[in-house]
């Protein structure tokens, strides 16, 4: 057993926070009991590169209960909750994660996590898979399959598969409905606004909030910003998504136009250079910029640094940049994913579903890996249905069941007008 955490003395506080999350994660609780009996991961090593949060801790314990030996590293330099990492290390788990690590230390942690010779990898952003394919190719001998948690990671993996570079099967957990329809929409929506408020405590009512990207994440953030009384502007490159935003009642504009109007900017596109110097030059005094996409490429922070004639930190998550015009721009959490850097990430209750998908997918890989081929695969539908049913049950919601006549009607074509 080994670990690299900030301070092992934070373990007691971390354990309490993990308990708090557990109470909000009833689906994982049921799966844990099933795994305890069935032991799907007997002699299985799992390396996970995830945001080290209290919710991730609950997932790791579920995998352990199923017999797995697990190792965990962070999936972003700023998202680790140091008390949670300490609690897991104290319990004997291999954990390599510290909030605020440099890029070099970040990759040292990933490399350590791979030392257990994983049979299954779990990624959030595909960094572990990239590392295995670029530098740690010996892992390809032991690995059976992988899983990917986020949209950005799935995009990277599909690019790898297209190039014929992906050497093992990876299940795109992000793409299953019980993940992206809830985690990306309600989770990102709430946690992004939570982070902006924790960092700045500004009043959103009456502010102009520009949201870049109207996918599941951006539309969730737009919905919640509007809920607090903001006037929301949406920027998009996809005509269908832009149209949806218009019909959802948002003002749709180019970033060039939004730059002049916004008080707060939230990027949620997954692409680079969404906000660059040409936009920053147009912004109002005291505009706030933040990113909720996976990588810190959406706001061109280098542009901001080069333009600024002075800089000052207001707190851990708010950096002021003074432009030559005298106008000030506030950048939150260095342009890294604000919801995990300045807040606690998505609420446990929604991570319950995403991580139930992850846990059941890991069991699926352990059972079926011999039948799977390299490439990007979908989560089996039974897993999605099971997670939805368990979540509904935990929320006390009952649903109707099709009668035999209704089922027959849906599978026939003879009955018409
Ligand atoms: N991604 C977004 N929110 C998260 C959380 N609370 N835990 C782990 N990964 C996350």
Q: What is the pLDDT of residues 67-94, one digit of tens each?
A: 999 999 999 999 999 999 999 999 999 9
In DSSP terms, 315 is beta-bridged to 318
Cα of 411 vs centre of ligand 1, distance in Å, is 39
Residue 81 CB-half CA count within 13 A: 25
What is the CATH number for 206? 3.40.50.720
Q: In what order do the strands lie in the sheet with 251-252?
A: 251-252, 231-235, 208-212, 264-267, 287-291, 328-332, 318-322, 310-315
- The reported pLDDT for the residue numbered 415 is 82
Quick one: 142 and 108 in the same domain? yes
Ligand 1 lined by 345 (C-beta under 6 Å): yes
Quick one: 337 and 359 in the same domain? no
Cα of 51 vs centre of ligand 1, distance in Å, is 6
Q: Is the pLDDT of residue 303 over 70?
A: yes
Query: End-to-end distance of the chain based on CA atoms, in angstroms?
Result: 68
Quick one: 175 and 193 in the same domain? no
Q: Which residues contact 332 (CB under 8 A, 6 or more apart)?
A: 195, 196, 199, 200, 288, 289, 290, 317, 318, 319, 338, 341, 342
Quick one: 109 and 162 in the same domain? yes
Quick one: 89 and 9 in the same domain? yes
CB 311 within 8 A of CB 322: yes
Quick one: 278 and 206 in the same domain? yes
Ligand 1 lined by 179 (C-beta under 6 Å): no
Q: Is the pLDDT of residue 394 over 70?
A: yes
Ligand 1 lined by 174 (C-beta under 6 Å): no
CB 149 within 8 A of CB 50: yes
Determine the length of the chain. 417
What is the CATH number for 21? 3.40.50.1480
Ligand 1 lined by 351 (C-beta under 6 Å): yes
pLDDT mean across residues, the chain: 97
Cα of 327 vs centre of ligand 1, distance in Å, is 34
Look at the alpha carbons of 233, 176, 186, 389 in this order and tell me if their dihedral is positive or negative: positive
- The reported pLDDT for the residue numbered 164 is 96
Q: Is the pLDDT of residue 1 over 80?
A: no
Ligand 1 lined by 53 (C-beta under 6 Å): yes
| Structural domain count, the chain | 2
Record the pTM. Answer: 0.96
The whole-number average pLDDT for the span 147-170 is 96
Quick one: 279 and 323 in the same domain? yes
Q: For residue 89, give its domain range.
A: 3-179+346-394
């Amino acid at each position: 057993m080994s670990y690299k955490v900030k301070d092992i003395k934070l373990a007691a506080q971390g354990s309490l926070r993990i308990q708090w999350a557990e109470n909000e994660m009833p689906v994982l609780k049921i799966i844990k009991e099933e795994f305890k009996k069935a032991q799907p991961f007997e002699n299985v090593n799992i390396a996970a590169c995830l945001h080290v949060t209290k919710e991730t801790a609950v997932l790791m314990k579920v995998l352990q209960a199923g017999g797995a030996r697990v190792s965990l590293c962070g999936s972003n330099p700023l998202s680790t909750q140091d008390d949670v990492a300490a609690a897991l290390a104290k319990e004997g788990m291999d954990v390599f994660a510290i909030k605020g690590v440099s890029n070099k230390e970040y990759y040292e942690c990933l490399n350590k996590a791979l030392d257990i010779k994983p049979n299954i990898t779990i990624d959030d952003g595909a960094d572990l898979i990239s590392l295995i394919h670029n530098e740690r190719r010996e892992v390809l001998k032991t690995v059976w399959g992988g899983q990917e948690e986020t949209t950005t990671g799935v995009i990277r993996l599909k690019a790898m598969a297209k190039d014929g570079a992906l050497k093992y099967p990876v299940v795109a957990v992000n793409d299953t409905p019980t993940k992206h329809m809830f985690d990306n929409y309600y989770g990102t929506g709430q946690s992004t606004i939570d982070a902006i408020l924790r960092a700045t405590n500004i009043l959103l009512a009456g502010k102009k909030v520009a949201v870049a990207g109207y996918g599941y994440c951006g539309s969730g953030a737009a919905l919640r910003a509007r809920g607090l009384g903001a006037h929301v502007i949406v920027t998009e490159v996809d005509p269908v998504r832009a149209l949806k935003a218009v019909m959802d009642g948002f003002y749709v504009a180019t970033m060039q136009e939004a730059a002049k109007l916004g008080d707060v900017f939230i990027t949620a596109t997954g692409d680079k250079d969404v906000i660059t110097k040409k936009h920053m030059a147009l912004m109002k005094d005291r505009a706030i910029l933040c990113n909720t996409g996976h990588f810190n490429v959406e706001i061109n922070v280098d542009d901001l640094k080069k333009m600024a004639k002075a800089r000052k930190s207001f707190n851990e998550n708010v950096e002021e940049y003074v432009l030559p015009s005298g106008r000030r721009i506030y950048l939150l959490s260095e342009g890294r994913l604000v919801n995990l850097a300045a807040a606690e990430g998505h609420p446990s209750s929604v991570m319950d579903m995403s991580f139930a998908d992850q846990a059941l997918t890991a069991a699926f890989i352990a059972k079926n890996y011999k039948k799977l081929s390299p490439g990007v695969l979908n989560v089996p539908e039974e897993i999605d249905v099971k997670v939805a049913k368990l979540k509904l049950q935990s929320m006390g919601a009952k649903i109707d069941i099709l009668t035999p006549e209704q089922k027959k009607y849906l599978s026939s074509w003879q009955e018409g007008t």
